Every structure is written in C-alpha cells, then in structure tokens.
Structure 1
C-alpha cells in the first residue's frame, strides 16, 4: 500500500534486514526517505491506534517468531553525514562504521573504537554502544529527536542521561533523528593504526563468519560474561539453529536457519546455567521483542 508515495509493506519478515537473519513478520513495515516521511508514518499509525517501533540496522535486536504488531520503521535511508571542522553530524540511519571512516578521512579522532561495530548511529546512541575503551557518551555532544508530541527536540549531553548501555531514549519515547559527534584532530596515520588494531582484535576473537548480534550480555560487575559462559562449558551448546559460539563465548551465532525463538531459548538456558554455577545473573545487552 501507499501513503503519500511512501511504500508500506504488509505482513513482511524482518529477518532479511536483521544481523541475526532471524525474526518474525511485522504487520506493517516502512522505510522513510526523509524526516517528513517519518512524521507522516508516525502520525498515520497514531491515528489508527497502532504501536510504532523504530529501528536502525537491527544489529542489537532479537524478534520472536510471532513478530511485531503495528508499524515497524527502518531508518536505513536517513543516512546523511556532514563534517564541520571537528564535528560530525550524522543521521540516525547512517552506519556507525561509515561515520568512523569519515572521521578518519578528515583527521578526526575519537571514534576509532567504533570502526568495526555493525549498526546505525541511532542504535549506537540509543544503547550508548562502546568497545575497546570507547563509547558513545565520550564523543556525542547533542542529539536531535522526534518526540511523541510530533516536535523535534535537541538534547544537549547532560539531558541524554547516558549510562552503561543506556540513554534517555529508552524511556522518553523519542525517535533519534541525528547525533553530533565532537572529535579531536589527529594524524590520519595514527587514527588508521588504531582502527586497524581494533579490527584485527575483532577478526581474531569474534565469529564474524556467522550472523549474530555481537555481544549478547552486558558485563556483570566484577566479571566478564564470556568467561562465565566459557567456564560453564556452554560453548557449542545449541537451541534449534542457534549456537553459543565456539570462538567467543559471549556471542550466539545463527548456524542453521535459527529463529528468534531459538535465540531467546538459548539465552534463557545460558542465564539459568551461569546462575546455577556462579550465582551471577547475566543481563541481556540485546533487546528481545515480539510475540512468541
């Protein structure tokens, strides 16, 4: 169906768009090409009383087999990146990896930790993503969001309420539109060296040859999730087509057409086993949504 020339897909699978290559059907799916189209879609859903879910690259999400009700919006096409002196303003749908490359090309340091992180700018801000000693709250100075009342609002750093894998957008209903990164000048050679070093670590430690969400669990205080899972002898354990990676215990990989339910079942089994052995509850870093 069409809404002001915006294509809306009905009963459409999220699996082809997700890094896990798993996920059920959504009632409606749309990919806006502008903020105006995003507003039109949100208003349309509101008028019909439908819930709205907004996603970036679906790199940190598990959607159960029963799928999602209402309208799901992917911000793939909102991906502008503008460099202005030591600042980069990136739209929510821009790939974080692409933003790190733009920083490198302009001799701007501070995003090297994100060189190999899959996902969008919006998703990275939403969960305060980070790796190798860096994270979003160290470099983002402001964020623009579409609020539930239909207005665009600018959030300065203090108002973003960043925490470990947290931001204010997990509770205020705002849809992230763009983020401003404030970086520091440095030589391109030094920046590339740091990016290459991080990507080398990823390639050697992470199972990049299989679909996955990356790190499944948050780091429990005083422990490392991957080590707890490894010490629980859970590497190689499977539920359906999803397996605890033999290369990195903190990852779960889709090795045989696994489903969202397979991921969730394996997560619960790992949580139960680690708690029984070590008394530590592993909290998921990935989001789990949808109906069983």
Structure 2
C-alpha cells in the first residue's frame, strides 16, 4: 500500500501535473528494470526542486534524486517515498569559454553545444549517457578525460536547505567520488571552464569517440554503462573475460559478449537477475584473481 498518496496531493499544489503515483521505474532507467516509485515528480525549475526537497525534509518523507536514469539500478520492489527526476532542468548558458548547465542537462548535449561554440575540453563526455548533475556527482570520465578537468564550480543544496556555490576544490573530485556523494548534497547547476579551439577538430574528435564507443560497447541493449568501477592496476573487462564470464547469463541478464565490463538486459531481465549476475561476477573474479570488484552503477530501492 502506498502511504505517500496524501503527500502527493501536497506536491501537486507545487508542481501541478508533474506528479505520478506508483510509477514503474523501468520507464525511467536505461536498464529498463525496476519496481514502482510511490511518487515520481519532475520539477520544471530550480526553485521547484528546492521547494520539493525542503518539503520532503520537513515532512520526513524519503526522497531520491535521479537524472535520466542511466547509471542506476532500481530493485524490483521499487522505491518508497518520492523520486525527483531532474530531466526538465536542462537549460544551458554559454558566456565566452564558460558553460553553465542546470543539473538535468544531458552531458552529451552540453558537449555538443560547447563544440558548436568552438569550445574544447568536453569532447570526452560526448557519449556519456547521463546528466551533468550525475556526472559531477560521480566525477564521470572516459577516454582520458573526466569532469574534474573542466569543472569550475557547482551550485548545490546542502543538508541544511541552503543553496551554496562550491569551488572545484570544495567539490573534492576524485575517481568516482565527490563532496556531493560524501555529504549528500543536491546539484542544481554546474559551471565548466573550457577553452577556445578549432571547431572542425573538436567535432572530428567527437565523431571519432562516438565511432569507437559504438564499435566497442553494447549500445543496442539496455544497460547502465560500465557496471563496475576500475580496480587499481587492472582492466575490469579483461578480468571478467579472463574469468570465463563473457556471455554468462542469469535469467534475462547477460555479461555482454561485446564488452565484458557491461552487464546488459538481454530480454525481460529483472533487477534481481542483474544483481545476481553482478554478485556472481564479483565472486568469481575474487576467487580467481583475488581482486574485489565494486559496482559503479548506483543500486537503490527495495527487494
């Protein structure tokens, strides 16, 4: 029974039509799995998201922030409380070599828009399928680039309900870590400091990385990108492949035959299938190589 239906009526007074009840999370995640969220809201402005979070905190209603759901695995029991989806907070402003984007802006869109202004530095992010808010939270990276190389500052909502601007140093960015994760901050917007460059070279680099990604990654199947963090001194996909796990199945979940670092939804997988396959990979790699793998994908919800 959904105990937050009455609370959803209060939210509707703030957000009008952008409030859904018992919404299947498989509609909102790239893995295409996950049980229902009690309430899902999609704020249209930064002030709306601040108001929703403050209200949830005041009424002691649990909440969870998602971007476009590309690095998240929602368990089959779904999510209790309120899911706040940032996808409509997607404004991008360019001033010289500075790019400011709201947290729900797609990183690929920010990268390509920057390129259209002859700004270089964000080419590595052109194929990362997440929002800029999620990217700064996880210090996302690819092809020898990461967010810490280009970020200047971020506006966040802190644990006391205060809106603050954090400098690059205050964001404490390291491999898949940040002060945002550490202290539970909510990202509202991010400012990047890029450089002027040659537009043709920038676009050619983006096209080159897109081709490489398409050739090497199983983009034709639902997944959450690289499933595991890279253990120091090792390549995750190589460890998994050499453990004989490439192509391994649990239910509808499979270790990709194209790239062993990806677990994919091959057909009607449940979240439990994916979680069981993650556990199997972790156990076998640990047994064979004494290397511990840890999920890069964010796991939320109830069994």
Q: Decide: shared fold, TM above 0.5.
A: yes
Q: Distance in 1 between matches of 2:179 and 2:115?
A: 29
**1:107 counterpart residue number:** 118
1:250 aligns with 2:258: no
Distance 1:111 1:24, change over 3 A: same
2:15/2:43 contact within 8 Å kept: no
**Does 238-247 or 44-53 show the bigger shift?**
44-53
Q: Distance in 1 between matches of 2:194 and 2:158?
A: 27
Ranges in structure 2 where 5+ consecutive residues have no aligned partner: 1-8
1:192 aligns with 2:188: no
1:143/1:155 contact within 8 Å kept: yes
Q: 1:201 aligns with which of 205, 209, 212?
A: 212
1:122/1:178 contact within 8 Å kept: yes
1:94/1:121 contact within 8 Å kept: yes
**Does 277-286 or 5-14 show the bigger shift?**
5-14
1:179 aligns with 2:190: yes
> 1:5 offset after TM fit, Å?
4.0
Aligned counterparts, 1:121-270, within 5 A: 121-270=132-281
Q: What SS is found at the alignment partner of 1:145?
A: strand
1:291 aligns with 2:302: yes
Cα distance per residue 1:166-192 (max 9 Å; x no partner): 111112121100101100111111101
Q: 1:4 aligns with which of 14, 27, 32?
A: 14
> 1:200 offset after TM fit, Å?
1.1
Ranges in structure 1 where 5+ consecutive residues have no aligned partner: none
Cα distance per residue 1:15-60 (max 9 Å; x no partner): 1110111111111110000122112211222232111111111111
2:229/2:293 contact within 8 Å kept: yes
Q: Distance in 2 between matches of 1:90 and 1:193?
A: 24
Higher strand share: 1
Aligned counterparts, 1:62-73, within 5 A: 62-73=73-84
1:9/1:29 contact within 8 Å kept: yes
Aligned residues between the structures: 292
Cα distance per residue 1:181-211 (max 9 Å; x no partner): 1001111111011111111110110001001
Q: Distance in 1 between matches of 2:30 and 2:14?
A: 30
Q: What SS is found at the alignment partner of 2:288?
A: helix
1:229/1:235 contact within 8 Å kept: yes
> 1:257 offset after TM fit, Å?
1.2
Cα distance per residue 1:207-244 (max 9 Å; x no partner): 01001111011111111000000001111111121100
1:274 aligns with 2:302: no
Q: What SS is found at the alignment partner of 1:198?
A: helix
> 1:160 offset after TM fit, Å?
0.4
2:73/2:299 contact within 8 Å kept: yes
Q: What SS is found at the alignment partner of 1:214?
A: coil
Coordinate RMSD, CA, aligned:
1.0
1:93 aligns with 2:104: yes
